[in-house]
Amino acid sequence: MKWEYKALIGIIVITFSLIFYAYNPFFSGEKSTPQQPTPPPTEPQPVPIVVPKHNNTSNNTNSTGNFEISAEKAKEIASKPGYTTREPTSGSIKIQGNDIEVWIVPLYKDQKLAERVYISKTDGKIVATEKF
């Protein structure tokens, strides 16, 4: 065999080796690193807000003190312009060591949960808000 043929065969072998090496990652299966799992979100902590004291001439509590506002009334109290309210859920929240029975009213803006308002069942005051 002439040296020209040997050189041509050598060049072809080197060319195919380079092509094989270059395209090997596309055919060798999944070699990407797996995504690290994101840690679960931390438990949201309601932030107490300061409600200004004012003289309310319409006192709706009865003499026994067992008054409880309705879910609809809680929606009215929590409503804000530009937000839509969804159905309140009943729950309790611990503020400064005291358990308070509340209505939890979600407020949505642009179809996303923007805020949760915690309204006391006994007096109808906003005891905490949680923004997202």
Q: DSSP character for 96?
A: T
Fold of 67-131: Nuclear Transport Factor 2; Chain: A, (3.10.450)
Residue 25: the pLDDT is 65
Tokens of residue 18, six digits: 């380079």
Quickly state the pLDDT bin for 21 (edges 50, 70, 90). Answer: confident
Q: How many CB atoms lie within 10 A of CB 109?
A: 13
The pLDDT of residue 23: 77
Sequence ranges of the domains in the chain: 67-131
Mean pLDDT for 114-130 is: 90
* More confident position, 42 or 114: 114
Interstrand relation of 126-131 and 84-85 (parallel, antiparallel or unpaired)? unpaired
Please state the pTM of the whole predicted model.
0.50
